[in-house]
Amino acid sequence: MTAASARRRTLRTAADLLDAGLIPPDTAGAVERVARSYAVALTPAVTDLIDPADPLDPIARQYVPSAEELVTAPEELADPIGDAAYSPVKGLVHRYPDRVLLTPLLVCPVYCRFCFRRARVGDADATMGEAEIDDALAYVAERPDIREVILTGGDPLMLPAARLEALLGRIGAITHVDMIRIHSRVPVSDPGRVTARLAGVLGGAGKAVWLAVHVNHSRELSPQAAAALSRLAGAGIPLLSQTVLLKGVNDRAEVLEELFRALVRHRVRPYYLHHPDLAPGTGHFRLTIAEGRALMRRLRGRLSGIAQPTYVLDIPGGAGKVPVGPDYWDEEAAAVTDPAGVRHGYPPD
């Protein structure tokens, strides 16, 4: 098999990656060991973005397994954000009073090497059956404080359009649910799945449907991804983005600036910049929070507020997300720091 032909199908094994020219032969054994613990998949849309000649390629770093994943630090956790402790029924997480996560399936078109659910995703047998969906939606229906249902996984846009349409209809029939949010990598990792039919299903759900697209580098916004986002925006679906701050991928201010400007051009509002979670074997991706705060400070004043995401940390154990971005107001001194770093006094209250 030629490297070109290997790259035209989803790559799932060390042999596949070797055939496609994405790993050197001397790393195949380590990659095979990684694949025994954590799912591997690279779609043709993703492999087309990778430059095999660049050992620092930021797309490859996100998706191609490496021996570094075999090293688990003492602070890393199989369930770093505490999903299990807040799961009253299978496939549902209720961490915040007004919203729940629903994971109808745990498969994805691609598997990110930094995924916080990396110990669970890739399990096709974990797809929720009808009885399990019934239980989860009954839980939501019995609790009027729940105003938002977030479909995540896995990737909800891997569901067949008819099944997704039926699920959205059932959620939408719960009167106290105001909106449905979907988290997905599909528009950038497998944009061909975003058909007019799928966009119509999302746009015609009856309740407000918001789509949060996971994208970490501007090169992921290929012409095919741009067309997928355009179909979604054209169907009236508000688009947000979620980005993970990753060493070797987007840990420079100019790289983040280029990404956030590109997202806004495609009618996607940057929403969250996540500090990496403490998932097993992901230490090689993590910066310090101080480094992340410094990057966000550099972006303030250089980018429109529309293009500024909130830098957040998901507290280990399930305590929830909190902003950890830079501070500009000094309460004690009654002073404020401008984007250039100059302090200014401000009249006290």
Instruction: Tell whether 253 is covered by a domain.
Output: yes
Domain-embedded: residue 303: no
The predicted structure's pLDDT at residue 70: 97
Percent of the chain surpassing pLDDT 90: 94
* Structural domain range at position 272: 84-290
Confidence of residue 4 (pLDDT cuts 50, 70, 90): low
Most distant pair of Cα atoms in the chain: their distance: 72
Residues with catalytic roles: 95-96, 99, 108, 112, 115, 117, 277, 314, 321
The residue with tokens 């996607």 is 268
What is the pLDDT at residue 322? 97
**How much is the average pLDDT of 235-258?**
98
pLDDT in the model for residue 330: 93
From the list 117, 124, 153, 121, the residue with the least C-alpha distance to 282 is 117
Computed over its alpha carbons, how large is the radius of gyration of the chain?
Answer: 21
Number of domains forming the structure of the chain: 2
Residue 252 and residue 108 in one domain: yes
Report the pLDDT value the prediction gives residue 124, as an integer from 0 to 100.
87
- Give the pLDDT score at 125: 87
Looking at the structure, tell me whether residues 31 and 159 fall in a common domain. no
How does pLDDT run across 13-60, given as a tens digit for each residue? 999 999 999 999 999 999 999 999 999 999 999 999 999 999 999 999
Instruction: Please check whether residues 48 and 98 belong to one and the same domain.
Output: no
Q: What is the tens place of the pLDDT at every residue in 212-225?
A: 999 999 999 999 99
One domain for residues 8 and 116: no
Residues 325-348, mean pLDDT to the nearest whole number: 93
Same domain, 43 and 119: no
Torsion of CA 165, 166, 168, 169, to 10 degrees: 110
Cα dihedral 275, 99, 266, 260 in deg (nearest 10): -20
Question: What is the Cα 219 distance to its own chain's centre?
Answer: 16
> How sure is the predictor about 1, in pLDDT bands with cuts at 50, 70 and 90?
low
CA distances from 265 to 226, 269, 338 (A): 10, 9, 27
**pLDDT tens, position by position, 135-154:** 999 999 999 999 999 999 99
Answer yes or no: is 129 within a domain: yes
Give the mean model confidence (pLDDT) for residues 75-86: 94
* DSSP secondary structure, 119-165, as one string: TTTT-GGGSPPHHHHHHHHHHHHT-TT--EEEE-SS-GGGS-HHHHH
The CATH number of residue 238's host domain is 3.20.20.70
**Least confidently predicted of 86-90, 227-231, 279-283, 332-336:** 332-336
Q: What is the pLDDT of residues 157-190, one digit of tens each?
A: 999 999 999 999 999 999 999 999 999 999 999 9
Whether residue 181 is contained in a domain is answered as: yes
pLDDT reported for residue 114: 98
The answer to whether 269 touches 241, Cβ cutoff 8 Å, is yes
Same domain assignment for residues 175 and 247: yes
**pLDDT band for position 251 (cuts 50, 70, 90):** very high
Residues 207, 138: Cα–Cα separation, whole Å: 18
The reported pTM is 0.95
Residue 267 domain flag: yes
If DSSP codes are grouped into helix, strand and coil, which group holds residue 181? strand
Cβ contact 140:171 at 8 Å: yes
**Residue 2: pLDDT band with limits 50, 70, 90:** low
